Chain A
Amino acid sequence: MATTIKAGESYGFFTDTSICIGCKACEVACKEWNQLEGNSPNFLADSFDNTGDLDAQNWRHVKFIEQVPDQSATAGNGTAWLMMSDVCKHCAHASCMEVCPTGAIVRTEFNTVFIQQDVCNGCRNCIAACPYSVIGINQQTGTAHKCTLCYDRLQGGLEPACAKACPTQSIKFGPLAELQQAADVRLAALHSQGVSQAQLYGRDDTVYGGLNAFFLLMDKPETYGLPNASNATLPSRNDLGGYIGAAVTAVLAVVAGLVALRRRGSA
């Protein structure tokens, strides 16, 4: 997709999992461009996937969801594995950004979520907050790392490496409005073909105010390890309850303390 990239416009990914073949070219392209060493090879023993998770070394990760019912999509075909090239969602209401105490996590001129490496101090509050398990700590730098949506490439007018490398165009990059339009067309096409389970995730604002990296899924979000709309909640939802609980306890404790420690009679 030839896209003229301009600051001030929202960009993102539309990842269509229905045409992902699990080749992991996106993972390789991401590592190569961003100079990520990757983790040591590890036999996971529970999947044909050999990457594991998104973390400081895996900013793109093709999930293999192999625990699906052993049934053919159509007669004569094999088991319907689900594959999904997962990535930071660049949420409109980003949990990581909300809790970051240093101001390291910012929204860029492309409306993406970016961790400034020279500001981050590795407190890991963002890791506790990110509902998608996207962020990891780089042990060498001691800072939090995740997909930058190839911020440096965008600044140079280039599309992100993963989208460039994807051979099936499962990963589409572009202005958010255009991607949303393309997603709507694709969903309608699938539904017209009888693929009723296809659904968009993060296309609208029901999940974290909308995701700049949104998906077409072939099953419910939980199957892919994504929180559904009712579970997609911001950390700050607990601010009020937590502080009120503490304040009520404080009042009771002070009263109890004053009663227990009060002066009683003369010496």
Chain B
Amino acid sequence: MLFLAEHFVRAPQWTWYILFYFFFAGIAGGAYLVATLLRLSGDPRDEPAARIGFYIALPATLICPILLTADLGVSWIRFWHMLVNVTPGDTSLNFKYWSPMSVGVWALLVFGFFVFVSALEAWLSDRRGNALVPAIINRAFNVVGAVVAIFIASYTGVLLSVSNQPVWSDTWALGGLFLASGLSGSAALIAMLIRNRPDASFSLGRLHQADGYFSVLELALIFVFFVTVGAAGSLGRELPWLPLWAIAIAGVAGSLVEARGHMRMQAAAGSGTAAGIRLDTLVVSLLVLLGVLALRAAVIFSAQ
């Protein structure tokens, strides 16, 4: 029997600041994970592209607490109450494992440490011309950081689900969807920034291929999202936001087309081929990033 959820809740008015926070959290977490994967499974010639990923993660992470604090409005000065319970007589650290917002704030703090150290290591290694830290240590550090990165890129979706809002609480797919979308966007962003770092062009084709795989995951989760929300009877709320969904789907389609092109090119010319930076990389990457933003906007605004 079809279960139709009824909601009588008020919208929390999480709008632009939160939309962009979700976007940058997805990009920061995704970029760190893609960079780590490049280091783990790639060629030494993938190191420049991996460093681009670590560089992207730093500003994308730094802007997150700024956006979250701005969203608090006139109470912004109390942002630290997320970490410390200031209840008189009961002052202690705040950590509620069942509240994604509480866990997320701590995760952001921890992720900031990993991102800062990784970006600093990448920068110092770039300046020296060779790796600053032995690869084994670097990789171990990055793997731990990547676990936190996965959380950062995905928990925002879980946070929405752990509510009583229509749409958000009607599906379990948002955490995975935001992760897949963030990974796709960050792979596309790294590919786009290779324009400014020619020594990283060796990784371009495989970044597009990875973006394609992430997009397949994203597409599957968009399908799951609509099925679960439809089963709960909240699908009507998505109708006004179909243009945003169309942009998100266009981003996914762009990723898939670009990935297919590069896979064919590699099959013909060999996987070690350094693909040239072409206009299509720029256009597709921008479309993918727009899709990442549009997807989050469609989800956030459809409940409110």
Q: List the interface of chain A (C-beta within 8 A of B).
A: 53, 55, 95, 98-104, 106, 116, 118-125, 127-133, 135-137, 139-143, 222, 225-228, 230-231, 233, 235-236, 238-239, 241-246, 248-250, 252-254, 256-267
Contacts and interface: CB of A to CB of B under 8 A. Distances in A.
B42 interface: yes
A131 to B, nearest CB: 4
A108 to B, nearest CB: 12
B94 interface: yes
Contacts, number: 229
Interface in B276-292: none
Given A236-B162, A242-B161, A242-B174, A122 B85 contact: no
A121 B75 contact: yes
Given A262-B42, A267-B43, A250 B8 contact: no
Interface residues of B, number: 79
Given A246-B158, A258-B41, A261-B207, A119 B101 contact: no
Interface of B: 3, 5-14, 33-34, 37-38, 40-43, 45-46, 71-76, 78-79, 81-82, 85-88, 90, 94, 96, 98-102, 105, 150, 154-155, 157-158, 161-165, 168-169, 172-177, 179-180, 183, 203, 206-207, 209-210, 212-214, 216-217, 221, 270-272
A100 B14 CA distance: 15
Contacts of B98: 98, 236, 239
B34 A257 contact: yes
Contacts of B82: 101-102, 121, 123
By secondary structure, the A interface counts as loop
A252 B37 CA distance: 13
17 contacts: A95-B164, A100-B99, A104-B81, A125-B12, A127-B10, A128-B165, A142-B73, A228-B6, A231-B6, A238-B172, A242-B161, A245-B176, A246-B150, A249-B221, A254-B37, A257-B41, A262-B42
